Structure 1
C-alpha cells in the first residue's frame, strides 16, 4: 500500500520520517510513504492518477481547503474547521479528515495544559482554526482573542469559530501587550514571526504553545521558559496529528507513538547539526 504527503513547499516535511517509522514498527513491510510537490491546481489531477494501492494522503498548505471540494465525504470536524489535512481512501472515494485538531489537543494535554481558562491565538490562518477547535475540545468555554497582523483578513477563522460555536474576538497583533493576561498564548505564526514578541511574553503569566518545530527552541519559547512558564513546541502537534493519520490510513488502533517520536526527534537533530555545519 502507498501513502504520501502533498503540499507546496513540501521538501522540508517530517511526515515521511514519522509515517515510515510507524510502518517499520508495525511490520507493515508492504507499505511505503512518499513526498510530492503539489499546488491547489494540481491536486485534482494528482488524485485522478492514483490507483487502488493508495491508502491515504497527508496534506499541507495550500491544499487543506481545496481538499474539502474534491472529497467524496468530509467529516463534520473538517467541515467546521474549514480544512482537511488528511485524505483516506474509503468506499471507492476520498474521505477528508482533520487530524490537526487532535494533534494540538494531545500535544497540550501531554504537557499538562489540559484546560486553560482563557487563551489568545496569534495568527488567523488555517492552523488558528484548528487551534480553536482543539481548545474547545479541551474544555475552554470563554471567548478566544485572535490577534492578526491584518484584521481585515480574519474572515476564515471567524467563520470557523461560528461553525464551531465558539466566540472569538479579533484585534491587531500590534496590541498584543493588552491581551496577555491569560492562561495560554498560542502562536500559529510562521517561523520567527513570534520572536519579536518575546519580551511581552516573558513579562506575562501565560504558558506558550508555538507551532514552530524548527529551529527550536524559538526566542519566544526561551523567554517564556526562562521565567518558569510551560512551553510546547510544534513537534508534538506534528507527531500526534501523524499518529491519527496512521490510524486512519492503516486501520491499526495501537499506533507506535514512541517509535515515531524517536524517529522525528532524531531527524530534527540531524537537520540542526547539518544546518550548523
Structure 2
C-alpha cells in the first residue's frame, strides 16, 4: 500500500487485483476526476492477491479512502470482508466495487452487469429474442445476469467440458434465464444469434473469424487489448455492430465514480477518449 502521507482533504480510490499493471481503470477514473473538477481526488492501482486482500482492506482509513475497484482474482474473495452487498452483486457472487462509508462500513456492488446493459442500450440494443455466450466463468455469469433482463428467449452457452456446462445451467436457473449449453467445438453456430457475447481469453475465439455470417447480429467482445480481436474485425467487415471491452469498462467505471464520489454527471465521453488514447499508445 502507498504509505505517502495524504494532504488534508485528499480523497482516494484505487483498483486492486493480480496482475494489475495492465488495468485502464486509473486512466478512466482520473479522466473523470479532471473533467468534474475533483482536484482533491486521487486514483491508483495496487498489486494485491487474495492472501493480501484482508490486510489491505483493514488498513483503509475512511477519512481518506472513498472506495475500491476490484478485478480478478478478488471479486469473490472480498465478499466475506464486507458489511453489506447489493442484490446485483449477490446474484452473481461477484463484487467489483467497494464503497467505504465515513463510519468505516464497507459496501459491495457489481457495476459490470448494469455497465454491460448500458453499453448495449447506447447502441440501441434493449431486447433480443435469443443470444449466445462464448465461454464460462465470472464474466460469463455477469453476461447471463444482463441477458436475463433483455433476452426474451433462450441463451446458448458454448463451453468446454461438462463441468462448465453444468455451472452455466445453474447460473441460468439462479438468474432466471433459460440457458442451453453446447460444446465449444460447435461455437460457429453461435454466430447466427442476434446477440453474441464473447467472454473468452485473448485468441480463444480467433478461429471463428472466418465463420461470421453475411448479415450478422451484434457482437459484444469483452476484450479491449489487443483490439480489435480477429472476431471483432471480421464482424465489423460484415457490417455488424460491435461492442468491445472498453465499452463495458467505461460504462461500469461511470457507475463506480458515481458511487465513490457521490456526484452525478460523470463524463462518459471524456473517460472513453482517455481510454482510447491510452490503448492507442500501446
TM range (shorter): over 0.9
Instruction: After TM superposition, give the deviation of residue 171 of structure 1 in Å.
Output: 1.7
SS of residue matched to 1:106: helix
Correspondent of 1:222 among 233, 245, 264:
233
- The alignment's TM-score, normalised by the length of structure 1, stands at 0.92
Partner residue, 2:31: 21
Pairs within 5 Å for 1:167-206: 167-202=178-213, 205-206=216-217
Partner residue, 1:106: 118
Partner residue, 1:40: 50
CA deviations on 1:73-121 (whole Å, 9 max, x unpaired) are 0100100022011111134211110000122111112122221211000
CA deviations on 1:42-73 (whole Å, 9 max, x unpaired) are 11111011111111100001111112222110
Partner residue, 1:50: 60
Instruction: After TM superposition, give the deviation of residue 154 of structure 1 in Å.
Output: 4.3
Relative to 1, partners in 2 of residues 1:252 and 1:29: Cα closer, same or farther, differing over 3 Å?
same
Confirm or deny that 1:77 pairs with 2:65: no
Does the Cα contact within 8 Å between 1:202 and 1:223 map onto a contact in 2? no
Gaps of 5+ in 1: 272-277
SS of residue matched to 2:51: helix
Pairs within 5 Å for 1:1-277: 1-52=11-62, 53-90=64-101, 91-137=103-149, 139-202=150-213, 205-271=216-282
For 1:113 and 1:172, locate their aligned partners in 2 and report how far apart those are by CA, in whole Å: 27
For 1:12 and 1:204, locate their aligned partners in 2 and report how far apart those are by CA, in whole Å: 34
For 1:76 and 1:181, locate their aligned partners in 2 and report how far apart those are by CA, in whole Å: 33
Instruction: After TM superposition, give the deviation of residue 169 of structure 1 in Å.
Output: 1.4
Gaps of 5+ in 2: 1-10
- The alignment's TM-score, normalised by the length of structure 2, stands at 0.91
Relative to 1, partners in 2 of residues 1:264 and 1:205: Cα closer, same or farther, differing over 3 Å?
closer
For 1:181 and 1:263, locate their aligned partners in 2 and report how far apart those are by CA, in whole Å: 34
SS of residue matched to 2:153: coil
Moved over 4 A (4+): none
For 2:248 and 2:57, locate their aligned partners in 1 and report how far apart those are by CA, in whole Å: 26
